Structure 1
């Protein structure tokens, strides 16, 4: 199972390519792998669900909103709440961005024009180490209220109890783990 967690983090570009082919506004994906003592969570969404547009930030206002979004996604505790008695510590956060935002840099794979608009997806990965992972029976996901444009969150779980899937809709914040 440890190999599965490593694959989750090393196959991210493949995951992003697959997500791009199933790009649907209003829908996001949460993948969870629990292999005690590790818990890996991947969250991916069309950028429009998170900030309202999918182009590289251009104006000062868009760049500020982009910076706020990145800070929000790096703050895992505000988006994913684990049971306190599971005694989990966040060991890693990785953001996979659709483009660079440094002045003068641009990822040409994501350029847009009036005839061929491109979709942009963003992925965040969170890796936890948990002293009492058997206590993880549910997650509270404030990420849905934080991003009201997400109407449906498709969830795939791999836990010691097996493989499962679930769907949460806006207004639901609790995810039960098998």
Structure 2
């Protein structure tokens, strides 16, 4: 769990991650597939991203060429402006407050035990502070447009009203839950 994660978002996200760990033993690393855990509570919407680096930058190791370094820098810049990648239902009145990214192969973060050689991942926590997060019923996800190698996004959502699982495949980009 990221030490910078706001306390309000930590409990539902921790529960969601524990549920995910029980449902999927081991770390599944599938190129073209991204996992999102979305936690919605009374103050924030937190999105945890877990993606093979190949799906984001096209390789899973430290960049070796100027072109690869540029690709990695551009991808990280896009992820750091997550408010453009995740458009939350306006009724929630959210603003991006924090983006923490971890990709040891790209030179930031620490290598994780058990990570298979040659299979670099990117993980991140993206926090939106909101006036009324529980009113949100959808997030428009811009990952398909930003990263063409992504073919599928598997999502778990924890809200005060319940838990949901969704899968987005191109061209669908709207993640919705609850009563519509």
Alignment-derived partner of residue 144 in structure 1: 144
Alignment-derived partner of residue 56 in structure 1: 62
Alignment-derived partner of residue 153 in structure 1: 153
Distance 1:6 1:133, change over 3 A: closer
Contact 2:13–2:38 (CA<8 Å) still a contact in 1?
Answer: no
Q: Deviations over 1:97-140 (max 9, x none)?
A: 123548xxxx7879xxxxx8520110121111111223311110
Alignment-derived partner of residue 120 in structure 1: 120
Task: Note the aligned Cα RMSD (angstroms).
Answer: 3.1
Alignment-derived partner of residue 74 in structure 1: 80
Alignment-derived partner of residue 113 in structure 1: none
Distance 1:126 1:94, change over 3 A: same
Distance 1:34 1:143, change over 3 A: same
Unmatched 5+ residue regions in structure 1?
111-115
Contact 1:20–1:121 (CA<8 Å) still a contact in 2?
Answer: no
For residues 141 and 149 of structure 2, the distance between their equivalents in structure 1, rounded to whole angstroms, comes to 15
Alignment partner for residue 4 of structure 1, among 8, 11, 31?
11
Contact 1:5–1:40 (CA<8 Å) still a contact in 2?
Answer: no
Q: What secondary structure sits across from 1:21 in the alignment?
A: coil
Q: Give the aligned length.
A: 166
Task: State TM-score, norm by structure 2.
Answer: 0.79
For residues 154 and 36 of structure 1, the distance between their equivalents in structure 2, rounded to whole angstroms, comes to 24
Contact 1:30–1:156 (CA<8 Å) still a contact in 2?
Answer: yes
Alignment partner for residue 84 of structure 1, among 82, 90, 96?
90
Unmatched 5+ residue regions in structure 2?
1-6
Is 1:162 aligned with 2:162?
Answer: yes
Is 1:98 aligned with 2:104?
Answer: yes
